[in-house]
């Protein structure tokens, strides 16, 4: 069954059009990605491996934005707490049309016409309603090694706990890599074969695996 699902998923990855784009990375660099407007989600794909790195499900989107002062720029805003994702593509208008069309036709989600957004506002609003200092000030910090499909080898991270959030930071720059409200953490799963290894489950899907 797992093999059949993999073949089914791989088939549809090649069935839909890919748009070469750039993702605004947490390091403030532009990273080349492929974007694919599938019937249920906008997929972010690694151009070299063709693996899906992230899927932005239409049912979880609140608003689309065009970034006028960032060439080809557009932003996806998640509905849960306003998390923002910034991309740039020469095909921006076509991507946004496909996202809105697929969301309405296949998911039943009516996304409003894209609003305007300023690039200079993105860093301060990136993590939505949890962007303020009192949400991201640590009460505990742990050095971990994270395993994920984005990295072939474990990467060193600082796992920070605040009063409201779980934050992943880069040790060299202390930049925030990811943020999840503690209220969205469903479970911490400890692995029997390695007592130092645990997975963090958010809602009903696995998001990360960390190794102390």
CATH of residue 65's domain is 2.30.29.30
Same domain, 144 and 102: no
Whole-number Cα distances in Å, 152 to 155, 191, 201: 9, 20, 20
Same domain, 7 and 82: yes
Same domain, 163 and 196: yes
Q: Which of 100, 128, 156 is the last residue of a domain?
A: 128
Same domain, 153 and 184: yes
- In angstroms, rounded to a whole number, what is the distance separating the alpha carbons of residues 148 and 191? 15
| Mean pLDDT across 161-183 | 94
pLDDT the model gives residue 11: 46
Q: Which of 105, 128, 151 is the last residue of a domain?
A: 128
pLDDT the model gives residue 184: 87
Q: Is 72 exposed, middle or buried (0-12, 13-18, 19+ CB in 10 A)?
A: middle
Instruction: Assign 51 to helix, strand or coil.
Output: coil
- In angstroms, rounded to a whole number, what is the distance separating the alpha carbons of residues 130 and 7? 38
- End-to-end alpha-carbon separation of the chain, Å? 33
Query: What six digits make up the tokens of 57?
Result: 């499900």
The half-sphere exposure of 200 on its side-chain side, counting CA atoms within 13 A, is: 21
Please tell me the total count of domains within the chain.
2
pLDDT the model gives residue 1: 44
Query: Any idea which of 43-47, 69-73, 144-148 has the lowest mean pLDDT?
Result: 144-148
Q: What is the pTM of this model?
A: 0.85
Domain of 179 in residue numbering reads as 132-211
Q: Which of 128, 152, 185 is the last residue of a domain?
A: 128
């Amino acid at each position: 069954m797992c093999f059949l699902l993999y073949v089914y998923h791989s088939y549809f990855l090649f069935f839909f059009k890919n748009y070469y784009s750039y993702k605004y990375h947490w390091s403030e660099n532009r990273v080349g990605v492929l974007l694919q407007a599938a019937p249920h989600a906008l997929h972010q794909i690694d151009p070299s491996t063709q693996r899906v790195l992230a899927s932005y499900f239409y049912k979880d989107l609140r608003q689309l934005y065009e970034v006028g002062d960032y060439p080809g720029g557009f932003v996806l805003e998640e509905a849960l707490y306003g998390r923002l994702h910034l991309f740039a593509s020469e095909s921006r208008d076509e991507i946004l049309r496909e996202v809105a069309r697929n969301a309405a036709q296949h998911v039943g989600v009516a996304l409003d016409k894209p609003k305007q957004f300023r690039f200079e506002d993105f860093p301060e609003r990136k993590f939505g309603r949890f962007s303020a200092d009192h949400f991201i000030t640590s009460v505990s910090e742990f050095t971990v090694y994270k395993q994920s499909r984005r990295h072939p080898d474990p990467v060193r991270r600082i796992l920070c706990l605040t009063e409201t959030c779980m934050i992943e930071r880069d040790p060299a720059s202390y930049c925030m890599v990811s943020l999840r409200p503690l209220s969205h953490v469903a479970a911490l799963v400890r692995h029997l074969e390695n007592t130092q290894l645990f997975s963090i489950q958010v809602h009903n899907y696995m998001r990360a695996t960390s190794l102390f």
